[in-house]
Amino acid sequence: MSEKLIIKGQNQASGEVLISGAKNSVLKLMAASLLCSDVCTIYNVPELSDVEIMLDVLAELGAKTSYDKSKKKIVIDSTNLTNNTASKENVSKMRASFCVLGSLVGRLNSAKVALPGGCKIGERRVNFHIKGLETLGCECKIEDGYVIAQASELTGSSICFDIPSVGATENIMMASVTASGTTIIQNAAQEPEIVDLANFLKSMGANIEGAGTSQIIVHGVNQKDLKGCEYTTLPDRIEAGTYMSIIVASLGHGIIRNIFPNHLTLFTGKLLEMGANIKLIDPNTMEVSNNKRLKAMNFITQPYPGFPTDLQALAMALLSTCDGISVVTESLYENRFMHIPEFWRLGANIIVSKKHAIIKGVDFLVGTQVNSTDLRAGAALVTAAVMARGETEISGLQHIDRGYEHFVDKLRGLNIDAQRISENTENFCTIGDNRYEPRSTKV
């Protein structure tokens, strides 16, 4: 059923929003649970289509799962894996599922995992993943759309990435948990989600140092010594940045709860530079407001702790009505400007030159029909629609469903006029607790 999101613009935000568990973390924790022949329980799990896809991947591999959405809890029993192959049908839907490669190699010394899918924001190569596994002793090949990895034994080694790669860092970290000796990952990704994964693995019995820095050291342990654990996922910093942007765009005032503010230091600084008002109420609660036209500013997307590429489109939405000219440079993904033609439809004045976007702020945007081209573009279009005069209809909601839990409900909680409707029946519906069917496999 085709659906669209209707936003009536220029309603000032007011109210509170509770940030969910981090999508980009929980999916990797689920993959990592395959490393131990035991039961793992993960809390603070957001209700997302991507979580459903990962559950399907785990079930295909033989894990038994139970998902209690009311308690935001997933139980994964990986005692008896029956398969080392993650099929194209599932992995092609979501790139994060490719991280079962590292956990399968670490658990079984072999894996056959389809090449990844997900948002088409640019080339995301798997060569770093393969290079790292080969350094640990795997023989790897790509055949018929699959990465096939096989090792008689994994041996710790020193691995240096040409550039920091989140997915490769995660895959190699998981594979090296059971490698003999010590593995050193240099020029490693430093994202908070990397730290969350390392803490989860340590809760299982792994020996990891340095997560959150450019050098991660993994001292191998016996697979049989890894035990099940209970773990709570960290808050989603990108979701927090999204609602910060929406509140600022609306010229409103809102409270954002369940956040780790230090994960958003640079983004918060840029919003302050533009003229927004942001202050901490307590260590995990932020007050955000804005009552004036914002000022232009420039930024370059970079690996953490730099400006997050996942918030680039949202910041561009804010800049579209700022005073002055802004320059946005996207240094990570070559197709991350696909939202710009949709911004043009709303009246934005943006010129694209290779990896640069030059934005001259207009007096106002005007609502129209637009299409979400990827997950963060969808959230950015909502931010632009909040500013626009009149009504904006946003299609392509399957992208938004991948990364935002109960999005309409949370928008309404902030006094944003948002409705999700079916295009063929015009029946209203929201992203509610029963949107997705429960899994057929149970612990």
Q: How far apart are CA 8 and CA 12, in angstroms?
A: 11
3-state SS, 331-348, equals CCCCCCCCCHHHHHHHCC
Q: Transcribe 61-78 into DSSP letters.
A: HT-EEEEETTTTEEEEE-
Question: How far from 123 is each of 48, 57, 101, 127, CA to CA, in Å?
Answer: 24, 23, 19, 11
Q: SS3 for 111?
A: strand
- Sequence spans of domains, the chain: 3-20+235-429, 23-232
Distances in Å between the alpha carbon of 348 and those of 42, 237, 252, 297? 42, 27, 21, 16
> Is it true that the peptide bond before 305 is cis, omega within 30 degrees of 0?
yes
Q: What is the pLDDT of residue 334?
A: 73
- Residue 117's pLDDT is 56
Q: Residue 416 and residue 419: Cα distance in Å, rounded?
A: 10
Give how far Cα 326 sits from Cα of 108, 274, 322, 348, 358, Å. Answer: 51, 11, 8, 12, 6
10 token code pair: 């220029």
SS3 115: coil
Which residues are CB-contacts of 125 (< 8 A; sequence separation ≥ 6)? none
What pLDDT, on the 0 to 100 scale, is given for residue 440? 38
Q: Are 156 and 218 in contact (CB under 8 A)?
A: yes
CA atoms within 13 A on the CB side of 114: 18
What is the strand order of the sheet 14-18 is part of? 14-18, 253-257, 285-289, 277-282
Token reading at 363: 């007096």
**Same fold: 3-20+235-429 with 23-232:** yes
Whole-Å CA distances, 356 to 93, 103, 353 = 29, 37, 5
| Closest of 179, 97, 93 to residue 135, by C-alpha | 179
Give mean pLDDT in consecutive 10-residue pieces for the chain, a chain of 443 residues: 92 97 97 98 96 95 97 98 93 87 97 74 70 97 94 97 95 98 98 98 98 98 97 98 98 98 97 98 98 97 95 97 97 85 97 95 98 94 98 96 96 97 58 37 37
140 among known catalytic residues? no
- The CATH class given to the 23-232 domain equals alpha beta
Per-residue pLDDT at 314: 97
At 212 the pLDDT is 98
What pLDDT, on a 0 to 100 scale, did the predictor assign at position 93? 83
Q: Which pLDDT value is given to residue 303?
A: 94
Could you tell me the pTM of the whole model? 0.93
The pLDDT value recorded for residue 162 is: 93
pLDDT score of 95: 77
| pLDDT at residue 423 in the model | 67
Tokens for 377? Answer: 């573009």
Q: Which of 36, 40, 119, 322 is catalytic?
A: 119
Q: Does domain 3-20+235-429 have CATH number 3.65.10.10?
A: yes
